[in-house]
């Protein structure tokens, strides 16, 4: 009950006597946060300044009448209790008031006990409504916090999985992260939606997860592969797709698409399925170029690194052959705009 007495009450009546009477009745009943105006045109300003828990609203006023003020209140807050003050209780007036969202009436002349009881009943409902809103807000915050925690956990698991797949021929695991980062830049440059760009950035590091199934004597071999070794090496694409198959998560679904198709070539000479042109998913086409650039510009057990400029020249040579021409153009533009700072993640 004490919490109800702390409610902020706004009285709107153009008659000073009526305002004073209500202030005396409510003050004696223990309501100390009382605000009033005899000018209905000030109501909007007072609603902003006071943020009342209840409005006592006269029906017949100059400027805006009570129904106009009620419509103004309901446009802002449909849950705010409003008691209409009137001696006019015709059926038509009551119908209009209820249609506009009035909660109850106080008839003139006022009965002190009736005023307090009607207000108390509505304020109890208002208090329960505010408590419910606070509980919902707390639940929403907890859900958001838990969602963020789950997202962080998922990202960490994906990162660890990507690093595990790369650990055997790149103990730092940085190649996978660089490929993800550059793939995201390319996807953004190509104008893909922000959500899809982020999905590519997160999924791309898993492109070589199938290497887990390749023997060390092949994976770590210096120099060129024998034909049978290369055929075994090529199976890392289908192995990766098998590992990621069946997931309900969009990131892992995309990672599976990238894993199986990132060695397909624009001209149809790639593997494992010999896809050509736009038959190759755009995510795989993007990662193919990012993977190629990073692999050439960094040292591996079987080769020395190429310079960024030499790698760029090779990529341009492969425009329309290995790589999608549109993605090559996006890469070239990024390369020159950023002074090939693709090596910033070391």
* pLDDT at site 342: 56
125 pLDDT higher than 50? yes
pLDDT at 126: 85
* Between 63 and 296, residue with greater pLDDT: 296
> What's the mean per-residue pLDDT of the chain?
88
Higher pLDDT: 140 or 92? It is 140
In this predicted structure, the answer to whether residue 168 has a pLDDT above a threshold of 90 is no
Over residues 191-204, the mean pLDDT reads: 95
The model carries a pTM of: 0.60
Q: Is the model's pLDDT at 12 over the cut of 90?
A: yes
Q: What is the pLDDT of residue 169?
A: 61
pLDDT at 343 over 80: no
Least confident stretch, 33-42, 62-71, 150-159, 270-279: 150-159
Domains recognised in the chain with CATH numbers: 2-139 (3.40.50.2300), 167-344 (1.10.3210.10)
Task: Render pLDDT for 18-48 as a digit per residue (tens, 0 to 9).
Answer: 999 999 999 999 998 999 999 999 999 999 9
In the chain, the percentage of residues whose pLDDT exceeds 70 is: 94
Average confidence (pLDDT) over 187-205: 95
pLDDT grade for 318, boundaries at 50, 70 and 90: very high
Residue 345, pLDDT score: 44
pLDDT of residue 132: 87
Q: What percentage of the chain carries pLDDT values higher than 90?
A: 53
Give the mean pLDDT of 79-102.
84
Greater pLDDT, 152 or 240 = 240
Whether 1 has a pLDDT exceeding 70, the answer reads: no
Q: Is the pLDDT of residue 101 over 90?
A: no
* Mean pLDDT of the region 238-248: 90
The torsion of the CA quartet 154, 159, 163, 165, rounded to 10 degrees, works out to 50
* Cis bond upstream, residue 180 (ω within 30): no
Q: Report the pLDDT value the prediction gives residue 167, as an integer from 0 to 100.
A: 66
**Confidence class for position 79, pLDDT limits 50, 70, 90:** confident
pLDDT surpassing 50 at residue 236: yes
Token pair, residue 183, equals: 């793939």
User: pLDDT category, 344, cuts 50, 70, 90?
Assistant: very low
Task: Tell whether the model's pLDDT for residue 175 goes beyond 90.
Answer: no
């Amino acid at each position: 009950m004490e919490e109800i007495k702390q409610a902020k009450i706004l009285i709107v009546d153009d008659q000073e006597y009526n305002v004073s009477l209500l202030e005396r009745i409510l003050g004696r009943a223990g309501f100390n946060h009382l605000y009033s105006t005899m000018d209905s045109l000030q109501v909007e300003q007072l609603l902003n300044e006071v943020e009342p828990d209840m409005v006592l609203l006269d029906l017949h006023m100059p400027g805006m009448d009570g129904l106009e003020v009620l419509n103004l209140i309901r446009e802002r807050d449909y849950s705010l209790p409003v008691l209409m003050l009137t001696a006019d209780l015709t059926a038509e007036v009551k119908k209009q008031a209820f249609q506009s969202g009035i909660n109850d009436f106080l008839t003139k002349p006022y009965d002190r006990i009736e005023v307090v009881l009607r207000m108390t009943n509505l304020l109890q409902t208002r208090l329960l409504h505010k408590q419910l809103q606070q509980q919902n807000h707390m639940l929403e915050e907890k859900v958001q916090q838990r969602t963020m925690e789950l997202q962080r956990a998922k990202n960490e698991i994906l990162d660890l999985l990507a690093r595990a797949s790369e650990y055997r021929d790149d103990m730092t695991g940085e190649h996978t992260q660089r490929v993800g980062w550059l793939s995201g830049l390319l996807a953004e440059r190509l104008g893909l939606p922000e959500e899809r760009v982020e999905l590519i950035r997160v999924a791309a590091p898993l492109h070589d997860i199938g290497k887990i199934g390749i023997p060390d004597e092949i994976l770590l071999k210096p120099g060129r592969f024998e034909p049978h070794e290369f055929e075994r090496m090529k199976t890392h694409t289908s192995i990766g797709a098998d590992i990621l198959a069946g997931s309900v998560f969009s990131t892992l679904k995309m990672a599976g698409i990238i894993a199986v198709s990132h060695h397909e070539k624009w001209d149809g000479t790639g593997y494992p399925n010999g896809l050509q042109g736009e038959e190759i998913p755009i995510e795989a086409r993007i990662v193919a170029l990012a993977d190629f650039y990073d692999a050439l510009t960094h040292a591996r057990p079987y080769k020395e690194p190429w310079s960024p400029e030499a790698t760029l020249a090779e990529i341009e040579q492969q425009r329309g052959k290995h790589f999608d021409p549109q993605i090559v153009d996006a890469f070239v533009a990024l390369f020159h705009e950023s002074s090939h700072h693709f090596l910033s993640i070391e």
